[in-house]
Amino acid sequence: MTFPQASRSVHRHLDVDGVRVFYRESLPEREDAPVLLLLHGFPSGSHQFRRLMDALGTRYRLIAPDYPGFGHTQAPDDFTYSFDRLADVTEGFVQRFGLRRFVMYVFDFGAPVGFRLAERHPEWIAGLVVQNGNAYEAGLSDGARDFIALRPGRPDAERTVRGLLTLEGTRGQYETGVADPATIAPESWTLDQHFLDLPGRKEAQVALAFDYHSNVERYPAWQAWLRQYTPPTLITWGANDPFFPAPGARAYLADLPDAELHLFDTGHFALETHLPEIAPLIAGFLDRVQR
């Protein structure tokens, strides 16, 4: 019996402006393999891409950092948690790493981080893979709008945010909109909860929740960037996402009419349930964009 060759990867830290950034990197067979920068979402980290790296890592160079406040990255106690600062550290990571041109995968929080990078360095972006990474008001559910409206000092605002940071809340993000929750491995949400329960992590998430409105305010600028640079784009979207429903995926087509769109009958974490369908789409896209 023969088995497919397993992808090899390394797990390291890189110091960026006082932040010890943890990252995963696949080691493909070719030194000139296409590069895919994987930007994770909330409340997860680079570990959410492990299966994708196993599936594609022998052919492509996949690089997945953890943001400050997530995963194994270690930030100083006085770090200010905002989306601008997450983008600053990710920008520094890319520069320290020596990346010059890559396809960028943006999921959830990865969209506001990634689009900030794209605005600052359009020359870096060879293409986009967008997976439930919103950049349009049409892609905000009523629940997402209510959450984004929360502000410090408003009655019960912090308690509402912290309610999403419990094990029940984390599990619900994975299972809502999924036809058969038994298809999701339970270590996905339990590992996320492990990191959320580390000292200082919930405070970081509260700060980011209160800053999320800054992303919505930048949607017009990101849409203008898409129209100006028209990057090749693959959209793979869980259509039953309770935060970013399917209209958010279709909205990209107004600015990127040539984008490739695939909607899947699943929730927010589409890779958890549809990796066998999504991985080949990404592989084909990388081959077309970076050949």
The first and second tokens of residue 198, run together, are 């580390």
Asked if residue 131 lies in contact with residue 107, where contact means CB atoms within 8 angstroms, the answer is yes
Burial 190-212 (b: 16+ CB within 10 A, else e): ebbbebbeeeebbebbbbbbbbb
Asked if residue 89 lies in contact with residue 67, where contact means CB atoms within 8 angstroms, the answer is yes
Bridging pattern class, strands 9-16 and 19-26: antiparallel
- Phi, psi of 86, deg, nearest 5: -60, -40
Rounded Cα distance between 22 and 82, Å, is 19
The first and second tokens of residue 6, run together, are 């397993």
Query: Which parts of the chain fold into alpha helices (H)?
Result: 50-56, 83-97, 110-120, 142-148, 157-163, 167-175, 187-196, 201-211, 213-229, 247-255, 270-289
- Residue in the structure block whose two tokens are 């594609």: 56
Residue 268 designated active-site:
yes
- Phi, psi of 179, deg, nearest 5: -60, -40
Give the count of beta carbons closer than 10 Å to the beta carbon of residue 277. Answer: 14
- Residue in the structure block whose two tokens are 């067979």: 29
Q: How many helices (H) and strands (E) does the chain have?
A: 11, 8
Considering the candidates 13, 121, 262, 268, report the single residue annotated as catalytic.
268
The first and second tokens of residue 62, run together, are 């996949």
Cis geometry, peptide bond prior to residue 43 (ω within 30 degrees of 0): yes
State the catalytic residues.
268
